[in-house]
Amino acid sequence: MQKITTLTALFLLVILFQFCSKTGSGLVSTKAATPIISFTTYNYLDTYPAHVQEALAASDNMPSSNPITNAGANLGRVLFYDKQLSRNGTTSCSSCHQQQNSFSDSAALSSGLDGGATSRHSMSLLNIRFYKTGKMFWDERAASVEKQALQPIQNHVEMDLTLALLESKVKSIPYYSPLFQKAFGTTLIDSNLIASALAQFERSIVTYQSKYDRVKQGLETFTSAEAAGEQLFLTVPANRTCASCHTPPMFITSSPSARFGLADTNDIGINNRNNFKSGSLRNISVRSNLFHNGSVANVQAMLTAGNPGTGKQAIPLHFLRTADIANMMAFLSTLTDRTILTEPKFSDPFALQ
Ligand code: HEC
Ligand code: HEC
């Protein structure tokens, strides 16, 4: 009930705000009359199960200068979903990193603010905190999560703002001042603080509530197909197992410089060698258009390519004997965490449903 009242109030404030700015009425010029939208605050400081906590201890890319706080991640959530962070007010981070699609895009390539297509497939943002070097993008060209965050905002196809414009926009939006005050103890808004808040929110997006996690905690057991799939993942082929590149338990590449290339004459990848990193394989069974160019329809298509009768060239190291495919699919499905797809703290704070 209280939630509904808050939402109704929020809705009225938004209408009032738009009405005032549209009519240019004197109302907005007085600061006191400017409505301040209050967003729900959530807890982002989860306690992870031991196997996830261990992985975090070994590979966390969170710098001591920007630890996750609830106020920081809460501000990051608002920024992440705010379309006003684009030149024409149509595009936010969430336009291409959609919660229901594991913070990726179901389309092979995404549309930017004027409808132009991105040159690569949108990466899932699940578990990016566990990529030890912190280097972001398929070709690792951003040095950290913080540095990455300002790039789509300035990218001409994606959101297309200069940092100066970004700062003046955010400063002029009334709900930000109190959110920055809470998060960073200052209302002196700049692009570094914007990047820090976005990074805090993104690093909090961690999956640890899948069947795989319950099995690792001894709360459930794998079916025989799932167990056989896990064995394949850990042992086949002997000289280059799936796990050697997609390290459990977060299944994020540990060594993208290992020799692996999806044949692609248009994209040179890391160090011009056609190498790419891969994000976490968690939730891979509910994602589509995989790999850096979105050219692989789904996991089944990946594992099948190269088998007689498919007519498709095999992707190096990414296909299996027909007899093994069902087991691998069963195992990969255990990595799906459905809670993350709808969890309110990762959802759109501007949505008024
Ligand atoms: C128009 C679509 C679009 C928008 C808007 C967008 N992204 Fe992305 N994002 C992508 C694409 C495409 C990639 C992969 C690009 C590449 O590797 O060259 C990507 C990659 C990333 C990565 C790298 C993940 C990894 O594991 O390396 C992060 C982090 C990210 N985006 C965060 C954001 C944030 C934060 C925003 C908003 C400030 C945002 N994105 C806005 C499409 C978009
Ligand atoms: C030599 C390292 C290596 C091995 C071995 C390997 N992978 Fe990969 N995998 C990668 C890299 C790198 C990418 C991203 C490449 C790209 O986009 O061009 C990738 C991409 C993927 C993707 C798509 C991820 C996405 O976000 O789109 C899946 C699924 C996958 N691998 C599963 C597997 C499975 C299952 C195996 C074992 C049968 C395996 N991989 C073996 C390195 C490897």
Four-point Cα dihedral 319, 213, 95, 246, nearest 10? -40
Ligand 1 contact, 199 CB (< 6 A) = no
Q: Pick from 233, 79, 238, 253: which is nearest to 169 by CA?
A: 79
Q: Is 260 helix (H, G, I), strand (E, B) or coil?
A: coil
pLDDT digits (tens, 9 = 90+) for 36-65: 677 999 999 999 999 999 999 999 999 999
Give the chain's end-to-end CA distance (angstroms, integer). 14
Ligand nearest to the CA of 102: 2
The DSSP annotation for 170-210 comes to HHHSTTHHHHHHHHHS-----HHHHHHHHHHHHHT-----S
Q: Rounded to two decimals, what is the model's pTM?
A: 0.92
Q: Say yes or no to pLDDT of 324 above 50.
A: yes
Ligand 1, atom 41: closest residue by C-alpha? 93
What pLDDT was estimated at residue 37?
78
Q: Is 161 near ligand 1, meaning CB less than 6 Å away?
A: no
- The confidence score (pLDDT) of residue 265 equals 80
Is residue 149 lining ligand 1, measured as CB closer than 6 Å? Answer: yes
Q: What ligand 1 atom has the least distance to the C-alpha of 153? A: 38
How much is the pLDDT for 34? 56
The tokens for 65 are: 């200068």
pLDDT 10s digits, 160-171: 999 999 999 999
332 lines ligand 1 (CB under 6 A): no
What percentage of residues in the chain have a pLDDT greater than 70? Answer: 88
Mutate-to-test residue for ligand 2 from 135, 318, 322, 328, highest number of ligand atoms within 8 A of CB: 318
Chain center to CA of 245:
20
Contacts of 32 (CB under 8 A, 6+ apart): none
Q: Which domains does the chain have, with CATH numbers?
A: 2-206+342-346 (1.10.760.10), 211-333 (1.10.760.10)
Q: Whose C-alpha lies nearest to ligand 2, atom 19? A: 278
